[in-house]
Every structure is written in structure tokens, then in C-alpha cells.
Structure 1
Amino acid sequence: MAKFTLEAALKAVGVGSFAQKTIKFRDASGEEFKGELLIKIISHDDVVNATDIFKLKNKQDITLDQLRKALVFQTVYEDEEKRFFPKISDIGSISTEILNAMYDAADEVIDFSGKNWISAKTKKDGASSSSTESAEEQLPKLSEE
């Protein structure tokens, strides 16, 4: 086994590299639309400081909407040289469905809160078997008198 170093960690997670993702949403006629985009893999500090773009005096004032927009702005690219949104204010011009699809794609690549890997591992290991039990098995049987 190789020695684990900061350089090895950065290389392993791919900070600064891009992952291609497909997003899906409904177009104006209600049909499914698919599009390819790039997600830039950013560091923990970039995730934590993404909302600095709003220049708020108090970080506790940040809304969930601003957090999601900041993370999409930082991570979603048309190509490796061009962000999808030229300005943070451009994000509000798309539908909520597209914004959510972009955020989900970025979260899948970067795993902003660390939940995706843990959740997938739990499901794979079968640790959450109670959710697969039927309702009948979970409810106690009533005795007839």
C-alpha cells in the first residue's frame, strides 16, 4: 500500500478536474430534455466559501437558495474554460427544475455533505433492511377474542 499524502489525496479526488454529467428536465412542451455539462471538482474550502460571491456581512444570513446557486455557479461549466453561467445573477433566469438538476449532478460528483458515499454504502451493505420489510411484517398481529 502506498503512503497517503496530500498530493495523493488531491489526485485521488481529482480537485480541479472535470466530470461530464447528463441532466434531464422537461422542456416547454413537457417532453424530456437531456443535456451534457461539465462539473468541476472543487475543494472543501471552495465549497465552504462558495457563498462569498454574495458578499454578505454575516454568513448566517445565507439562504438555502443562495447556497445552491453559489455551488452551481462554482461547479457547472459548458467546457473546461467557460462557466455555464457568466454571472451569479444569470442562475435565476432558468427554471427551478433545471437548477435542481444541475445541483443534483454537482452533488453527485462532489458530494457536498458527504452523504452520497455513506448512503450508497449503507444500501449496498443492506444495513437498512427494515425499509424492505413489508408493512404487514412490521405491524404486530392483533389477537381475536
Structure 2
Amino acid sequence: MAKLTLKSAQKAIGIGTFVKKTIKFRGANGEEFEGEIFVKIVSHDVVAHATDIWGIDKDKLTVDHYRKALLFQLIHEDEKAKFFPKITDTGSVSTEMISAMYDAADEVLDFAGKNWILNQMKNSGANSSSTESAEEQ
């Protein structure tokens, strides 16, 4: 096992790299659209202070402000261009698209740490049930 340092941890996490994700949303006529976005892997501090971009008193911020601030900083067209040029542009798409982008970013960054825990629980459940099935046979 290698010695863990701040630099090696940041490299292992992939800080500053991008993950390509496919999102789906409905168009004006109800047809399904699918497209690729890039989610930038950032540090905890970037996520925790994302709302600073609004320049609003913390007690006046809403969940919507937080989500849009995260999307503004994390979602990119490619590795060189942000998807939303300005923070106010985050409101220029549908709520469904905002939700799809947020879900994609959450899959990559696991904002609350819940995805990893749920996957561990699913994996251990799947492993124990496959073991039980083998034993029954």
C-alpha cells in the first residue's frame, strides 16, 4: 500500500479532470433528447462555496441558487468551455434539464456521499444473496 499524501489523494480523486455523462430530457413536442455533457471533478471547497458566485447573503440563498451555482461551475460543453457562459444563463433551460444535469453531476461527485454508501449496500446484498442461492442448490 502506497503512502497517502495530499497530492496523491487529489490525483486519485481526479481533481480538475472531466467525466463525460449522457443526459436525457424532453423537447418542446415531448420527444426525447439525449446529449453529452462534461462534469468537472472539483474539490469539496468548490462545492461548499459554490453559491458565492451569486454574491447574495447566505440567509437569502435557496436550493435553486445552490443547484444552479453548482451547474455553472461543474457542467461543461467540453474540456475548454463551460456550458453556461454566465451564472444567470443557468435559468434559461427547462427545470427537467437542470435536474438531469444536477443528477449527472451528483453521480460523478456524490455531493452527500450517499451514492457510494448505497452502492456498497447493494453490492453486499447482491453478494450475500448469490452466496445463499449457491448454498441452497
Fold match (TM-score > 0.5): yes
Q: Which runs of 5+ in 2 are unaligned?
A: 127-137
Give the Å deviation of 1:61. Answer: 2.6
| Secondary structure of residue in 1 paired with 2:77 | strand
Rounded Cα–Cα distance in structure 2 between residues aligned with 1:62 and 1:123? 35
Aligned twin of 2:116: 117
Who wins on radius of gyration, i.e. which is larger?
A: 1
Amino acid at match of 1:12: A
| Secondary structure of residue in 2 paired with 1:15 | coil
Aligned twin of 1:23: 23
Rounded Cα–Cα distance in structure 1 between residues aligned with 2:45 and 2:71? 15
Write out aligned runs for 1:38-77 (5 A): 38-57=38-57, 59-77=58-76
Rounded Cα–Cα distance in structure 2 between residues aligned with 1:40 and 1:117? 18
| Secondary structure of residue in 1 paired with 2:96 | helix
Measured against aligned partners, the alpha-carbon deviations of 1:35-70 in whole angstroms (never above 9, x if no partner) come to 00100001000000100011123x233210001000
Aligned twin of 1:91: 90
Rounded Cα–Cα distance in structure 2 between residues aligned with 1:101 and 1:125? 28
Rounded Cα–Cα distance in structure 1 between residues aligned with 2:63 and 2:28? 27
| Secondary structure of residue in 2 paired with 1:82 | coil
- Which one has a larger percent helix, Structure 1 or Structure 2? 2
Measured against aligned partners, the alpha-carbon deviations of 1:50-94 in whole angstroms (never above 9, x if no partner) come to 00011123x233210001000111100011111000001111110
Paired-residue identity, %:
60
Rounded Cα–Cα distance in structure 2 between residues aligned with 1:75 and 1:22? 14
* Runs of 4 or more consecutive aligned structure 1 residues displaced over 6 Å after TM superposition: none
Aligned twin of 2:77: 78
Q: Which runs of 5+ in 1 are unaligned?
A: 128-145
Rounded Cα–Cα distance in structure 2 between residues aligned with 1:83 and 1:96? 19
Give the Å deviation of 1:124. Answer: 1.6
Give the Å deviation of 1:20. Answer: 0.3
Rounded Cα–Cα distance in structure 2 between residues aligned with 1:117 and 1:32? 29
TM-score normalized by the length of structure 2: 0.88
Amino acid at match of 2:107: E
> How many residues are matched?
127
